[in-house]
Chain A
Amino acid sequence: NAGVTQTPKFRVLKTGQSMTLLCAQDMNHEYMYWYRQDPGMGLRLIHYSVGEGTTAKGEVPDGYNVSRLKKQNFLLGLESAAPSQTSVYFCASSYGGGRFFGNTIYFGEGSWLTVV
């Protein structure tokens, strides 16, 4: 049982390049999330998904796109990377909404992205 797995763990991009971060969970969770963590800003929600085939915007969605084609995977894309997107990215998952709001949220190990 791997939990939440993120790939890649480290990446350096040049401004304007594109890339995709992959998140996979093996807990059959409905909800999946992408956060970024920056010094002095804490963790901020980028996008989230409440189930396969659904996505929604979080607090800081600009410059990112996501897809949830399979329940276990949640992809975060940067179409044209900017230095402001240098950050640590965390994927997380949890059981669904309603009475499952009370369930624990599980995080991946993080992906360190540097845009030069």
Chain B
Amino acid sequence: KQEVTQIPAALSVPEGENLVLNCSFTDSAIYNLQWFRQDPGKGLTSLLLIQSSQREQTSGRLNASLDKSSGRSTLYIAASQPGDSATYLCAVRTSGSRLTFGEGTQLTVNP
């Protein structure tokens, strides 16, 4: 059974700091890995999708890497801003129906 773990569970940083969120998964047989953002009381917004054949994806200040063999992914946020405060979730897709989520990292960026 696929298990996804995100460390740390919560993170508080000052504005402007670069930071890394971690995601690990137990079964390397994945189709892709997706990072989401969830604001309080809202749904999930897709940030980055990395296919199993890819090593990284970038979007603006966000960079996600994938090391499938070791079962790890990182989300790098450059020059963090208070508007980046949210919960970040990673999810791995192991079939058309199976998307397994981590419990998320709650990020607070302090002005």
Contact = CB atoms under 8 A, between A and B. Distances in A.
A4 B91 CA distance: 19
Nearest to A30: B96
> How big is chain A's contact interface, by range?
20 to 34
Contact of A43 (B49, B51, B101): B101
Q: Is the interface of B mostly helix, strand, loop or mixed?
A: strand
Contacts of B86: none
A96 interface: yes
A56 B46 CA distance: 24
16 contacts: A31-B97, A43-B91, A50-B96, A90-B44, A101-B93, A102-B31, A102-B32, A103-B49, A104-B34, A104-B49, A105-B46, A105-B99, A107-B43, A107-B44, A109-B42, A110-B43
A107 B32 CA distance: 17
Interface residues of B, number: 24
A42 to B, nearest CB: 4
A56 B103 contact: no
Given A42-B104, A107-B43, A50 B89 contact: no
Contact of A56 (B45, B93, B97): B97
Interface string A5-39: 00000000000000000000000000101000000
B99 A45 contact: yes
Interface in B43-70: 43-46, 49, 51
A42 B45 CA distance: 16
B102 A105 contact: no
Contacts of A56: 97
A106 interface: yes
B95 interface: yes
B101 A42 contact: yes
